[in-house]
Structure 1
Amino acid sequence: MHENQISFQVRKAAYEIHTDLGPGLLESVYETALEHELRQQGLRVARQVPMPMVYKGIHMETGYRLDLVVEGKVIIELKSVDALQEVHFKQLTTYLKLSGLKLGLLINFNVDRLKDHMHRRVNGLENDTAATA
C-alpha cells in the first residue's frame, strides 16, 4: 500500500475519532483510539516505536519514540494541545529524516475542526499528489 493510501485511511479514522470523542482528552487516549481504528481497517500499526540514534559514534538505544507507525511506512505524531508550535513540525521532519521514512502526519485533536489541524510532511516521497491534508 502506498503512503498516500495509508494517509487517507489515517485521516478518515482520525475524523471518526474526533467526531465521537471530541477535543480535550489526553494525547494517549487519541493514540489508543487511532491504533484501534487502524487495526480494524486491517492495517499494521506499531505504537510508541523506539528509534535508536547514533551521534558522533555514540549509539543510543532509544533516541526518541514515534507515536504510531502504520504499515512500516507512515509516521503519525499526535498532539492534544491548544495550538501547534513550530517545534512540533520540526520534530516530525526530524523523525522522518532519522527514520528514513517518507511520510508523516501531525494531528492535533484538541481543536473544534480537525480538518485544519492535520498536517503532512514528506521526505522524498514519490508520486505525492497531496501537498496538504
Structure 2
Amino acid sequence: MLLQKKDRIYWKECYRIVGAAMTVHSILGCGFLEGVYQEALSIEMKKCGIPFEEQKELRINYNGITLQKHYVADFLCYDKIIVEIKATKNLAPEHHAQVMNYLKATNKNCGLLINFGESSLDFKKIIHGIIK
C-alpha cells in the first residue's frame, strides 16, 4: 500500500518518537500516572537524541491578537510535532480534539497522541485534523 503524501509528513521523526514511547511502555507497562510516562519519555527521547521541549506553552492567536490564555502541550519535538500523552483505558474523541486544537492554535502540521494506559501502546498521528 502506498502512503498518501499527507501520511508521509514527518514520517521519520514520528517513527523515532513512537519508538521511544514503545521502549517506555515495554519497560513500565500500563498502570502508572501520566506524569510517570512523561518523565520516562523525556529520558528516553534524550537518550535517542530526539530534540524536544517539555511542557511547551502554546500561544493562541485570535484575529491577529495573541490571547493571554494558552495551551500546554506535553512535548514539542523537532520544533514541529506536538506530542500529547495520556494514561487512560481508551482514547476518547476529546483527546483527539485536544491535539487538533493544539495544531490549529500553533499552525503546526503534525501531532502525535500517545496512550500508555492500555496493555499495548496506542498512538494516533494527527495531520491538520486528520487522524491516522
TM-score category (smaller protein) = 0.7 to 0.9
Corresponding residue number in structure 1 for 2:127: 122
The answer (yes or no) to whether the contact 1:50–1:62 under 8 Å persists in 2 is no
**Which 4+ runs in 1 deviate beyond 4 A?**
none
Code of the aligned partner of 2:94: V
For the residue of structure 2 that corresponds to 1:106, the secondary structure is strand
Q: Which runs of 5+ in 1 are unaligned?
A: 125-130
The Cα shift of 1:78 comes to 0.3
Cα gap change, 1:16 to 1:119, in 2 (>3 Å) = same
2:3 maps to: none
Q: Which 10-residue stretch deviates more, 80-89 or 52-61?
A: 52-61
**Where does residue 100 of structure 2 map in the other structure?**
93
Q: CA offset at residue 104 of structure 1?
A: 0.7
1:72-111 deviations in Å (ceiling 9; x for gaps): 0111100011221101001101111111111111011010
Structure-2 separation of matches of 1:93 and 1:45? 19
What are the Cα deviations for residues 41-73 of structure 1, in whole angstroms up to 9, with x where unaligned? 112110011112233676334511011011101
SS of structure 1 residue aligned to 2:56: strand
Equivalent residue pairs, number: 124
Q: Secondary structure at the match of 1:91?
A: helix
TM-score scaled by length of structure 2: 0.84
TM-score, length of structure 1 as denominator length: 0.84
Match of 2:15 in 1: 8
Task: Determine what percentage of the aligned residue pairs are the same residue.
Answer: 31
- 1:38-49 alignment, distance < 5 Å: 38-49=45-56
The separation in 1 between residues aligned to 2:18 and 2:10, in whole angstroms, is 12
Alignment root-mean-square deviation, CA:
2.1
Tell me whether 1:20 sits opposite 2:23 in the alignment. Answer: no
Q: What amino acid is the match of 1:67? A: D
Partners of 2:52 and 2:75 within 8 A in 1: yes
Give the match for residue 68 of structure 1.
Answer: 75
